[in-house]
Amino acid sequence: MKKLLIALLFTFVSTSAYAGGHSPCGVTDGSIKILANEFTTYRIFMDEVKSCAGPSADFSVTHSVDHNKLQVAALSANPAEFSAKLVTNGSITTLMNDNLIRPLDDLVAKYGSALQDNQKIVIDGKIYAIAFMANAQHLWYRESILNDLGIAVPSTYEEVIAAAEKIKASGKMANPYAGAFKSGWNLGQEFVNMYLGHGGDFFKAGTAEVSVNNAKGVAALNMLKRLTEVSNPDFLTQDTNAVKEEWESGNVALMHVWNSGAASLLDDEGDQAIKADTRLANSPTVGGGSKPATTLWWDGFGIATNTSDENAEASFRALLGAATSTEMANANPNATIWLIDGYSPGDTAGPVVDAANRGATPYPSLPYMSLLHGALSTELVEFLQGNESAEKALADVEAAYVAKATEQGFL
Amino acid sequence: MPHRTFFWFFFPSGLAMLLFIGLPIISSFFQSLHIEPEQILMEVEKCDPFGCKTETKVDIEATTKLQEEQPLGRFNGLGTYGDRNHLALNEIKEAWTNSSSIAEFTDILLNLPFYKALLFTLTFCFAVTPPVVVLGFIVALSVNTITKSLKGPTIFGVILPMIVTPLIGSLVLFWMIDAKGILGSFIQFLFDDPNLSLKSSSQLTWITLIIYGIWHNTPFAFVVFYAALQTVPQDPIEAAIIDGASRYERVRHIVIPHLYPVATFIILICLMDNFRVLEPIIGFAAEGVAQSLSWMIYNDLRSENKMLFGSAGATSMLTIIGVAILLTPVLIRTWREFRTER
């Protein structure tokens, strides 16, 4: 009797699993293992990928803010730890350098008819990634606070500082500005923004020779220093997610963070009064420049070289399903700017479009850029703490870069 | 023990040590003598949502071919050891000739990544180890005197900091010392300064890390001291009590001399452990102001780009040399004691 019951139960469970095994994206076998950054928009995207892969698919996703640090080690192994990686114009170069992501032309030809042309990341004639969103950092402000003090929305960083100082003087907030200044990738990125805003070039044209120790670099650093002076004194420990928490706690009236932050800042959780008061503004210019001091980013996915063709196909189809889902895009119009066909942008898209129109530079996709970014991450701290001069800090950045680039064979 | 018996007794662990410690060290050493092969660059057309343009890219085919020819990379000798991110020999030479005072020279020296990391590592080692030994001893003495029924729970409570994974322990403390955390706001209240933040200055971060190190390491010293206390001979203690010696005198003249070799052992292990400090730096997000040698290795292998094996290997070798130098005085002392006891 007991055996019969077990047998019955078993049949029931297995049939129901079979019945639920339908995959909307046509994934039949192969496992899907994805490595991705951690923020709300990616979570929305991954939910769509998961439902597209279907309930019976062998699906897992690892969200980590340290994705950039993990990717090379994880994808170099053969077979790789992950079958796919969400990439950006910043992280794809590193993977390309080591041949860790595969060309997708055959898969695109087979399944990619719903893709728009600008979603295809084509390098040297081959498609290496599929983009699904565009992102940029820009200014955010608290409307009521600016209105109360009669401050116009800042359009330059000089005005941002004046506004922050006014808010500070009014006693409303002790540290009204916030940016992701955490020592590491975030801090490097703040310098990249500010240096490009000053019209700087990171390398001597066409070479891997660095050149940031110049008047523009010094001006960029001094501007960062002034911003940190109106920021929380713990700025060196705050990454983007920590800055968003500060915002949601009402401690900050001006910040420069990602457009995709809207997904968590403007959702139904947290203090609704702060949400109602949150406004997006264009990224400011700096030092009289005309380009906004920010970088343009696309986010997309690449498929690992060191994974079986079966896993590659399953991962591609599931990810593609989400990257062409007009439904997902239009259900979350403010989560980011989707590059998906049929998407009608929400009211938060403005600042990114504005940045693109005013000629903001895409983050440089150069093979040696990440070495420079790494050097910036660690060598700028002492300057921001007031322990060394801007020139010295930039000289240190250059020296650290040269040592690393020499070891890597670029110089 | 006859030598033969000892050999077979030691053989399995000796073999494991050779395989899992000896060989990796040798392999890191070889890796540290090499750098990556030259990267062949090429100009390609690249299109993304922001348009098409010509950009530099690594020529994968040519570079892979070079890599296959030299899987270890290009031989660089001790070049990596001497470069700016390690011993920085050229920079030091230059600083020595160009600086006008010792203070200026020290400034330049401590601005170089390796020496900056070395300074923190040594400070951490020498600030943490003595308090750990003293505190561990005091705690062990106290626990030894409480009634039997309370001993179990007390010991558990005392060794808790050691049980908690370092990364978790440091993260918990990191949140507690946040300006809005329970410890952080208490300190602000105590000093009556609403802007005081333990995370904002290097000095305060260093102090926080050191206090964390003491908190985390004391249980180890406690456990060893506590075990050793159980072996203190009771006869001389009873004799001392009859002679009218106070508790302090008994501890000073009987217990401490008995525990002396144990203390040496604890110092040895603590110095070695603390020289490799890494987790609290990550947990406290203190990379900006406090870098240790282990953190440098971590950063070389986990930075944005390719893993810098040569650089990490070189730092590893220098760390091993550092540990050896640090332990030499203690080891010499132990050896001498061993000889005289014989």
Domain definitions of chain A by residue range: 26-135+297-352, 137-295+359-408
The span from the CA of B229 to the CA of B219, in Å, is 15
Could you tell me which residue, A73 or A298, shows the higher pLDDT?
A298
Q: How confident is the model at residue B59 (pLDDT cuts 50, 70, 90)?
A: confident
Spell out the domain ranges in chain B. Answer: 41-75, 77-111, 113-341
Answer whether B47 sits within 8 Å of A122, measured CB to CB: yes
Burial class (CB in 10 A: 0-12, 13-18, 19+), B75: exposed
Q: How confident is the model at residue A233 (pLDDT cuts 50, 70, 90)?
A: confident
Q: Show which of residues 94-113 on chain B sit within 8 Å of chain A, judged by CB atoms.
A: 111, 113
Range with lowest mean pLDDT among A105-114, A310-319, A364-373, B178-187: B178-187
Considering only CB atoms, which chain B residues are within 8 Å of A208? 41
Cβ proximity of A157 and A284 under 8 Å: yes
Considering only CB atoms, which chain B residues are within 8 Å of A370? 303-305
Considering only CB atoms, which chain B residues are within 8 Å of A382? 111
Task: Give the count of alpha carbons within 13 A of B39, CB side only.
Answer: 25
Listed in sequence order, the DSSP H helices in A303-359 are: 309-323, 326-331, 350-357
Q: What is the pLDDT of residue A221?
A: 96
Could you tell me which residue, A275 or A22, shows the higher pLDDT?
A275
Q: What is the pLDDT of residue A306?
A: 93
B70 touches chain A (CB under 8 A): no
Considering only CB atoms, which chain A residues are within 8 Å of B47? 120-123
Domain B113-341 classified CATH 3.30.420.40?
Answer: no
Contacts 24+ apart (CB under 8 A), B324-330: B326/B125, B326/B271, B326/B272, B326/B275, B327/B268, B327/B271, B327/B272, B330/B264, B330/B267, B330/B268, B330/B271
B287 touches chain A (CB under 8 A): yes
Answer whether A404 sits within 8 Å of B46, measured CB to CB: no
CATH number of A137-295+359-408: 3.40.190.10
Considering only CB atoms, which chain A residues are within 8 Å of B299? 378
Q: Show which of residues 31-60 on chain B sit within 8 Å of chain A, judged by CB atoms.
A: 35-39, 41, 43-50, 52, 55-58, 60
Closest CA to A89 of A367, A404, A409, A376: A367
The span from the CA of A357 to the CA of B128, in Å, is 56
Answer whether A123 sits within 8 Å of B44, measured CB to CB: yes
Q: How confident is the model at residue B189 (pLDDT cuts 50, 70, 90)?
A: confident
Residues B325-338 have a mean pLDDT of: 84
Answer whether B41 sits within 8 Å of A184, measured CB to CB: no
Distance from CA of B216 to the nearest CA of A (A): 22
Report how many Cβ contacts below 8 Å link chain A to chain B: 168
Residues B66-82 have a mean pLDDT of: 86
Domain A26-135+297-352 matches domain A137-295+359-408 at the CATH topology level: yes
- Predicted confidence (pLDDT) at residue A133 exceeds the cutoff of 50: yes
- Predicted confidence (pLDDT) at residue A76 exceeds the cutoff of 70: yes
Cβ proximity of B300 and A408 under 8 Å: no
Domain A26-135+297-352 classified CATH 3.40.50.720?
Answer: no
Cβ proximity of A138 and A278 under 8 Å: no
Considering only CB atoms, which chain B residues are within 8 Å of A355? none
B116 touches chain A (CB under 8 A): no
Give the Cβ contact number of residue B122 at 10 Å. Answer: 16
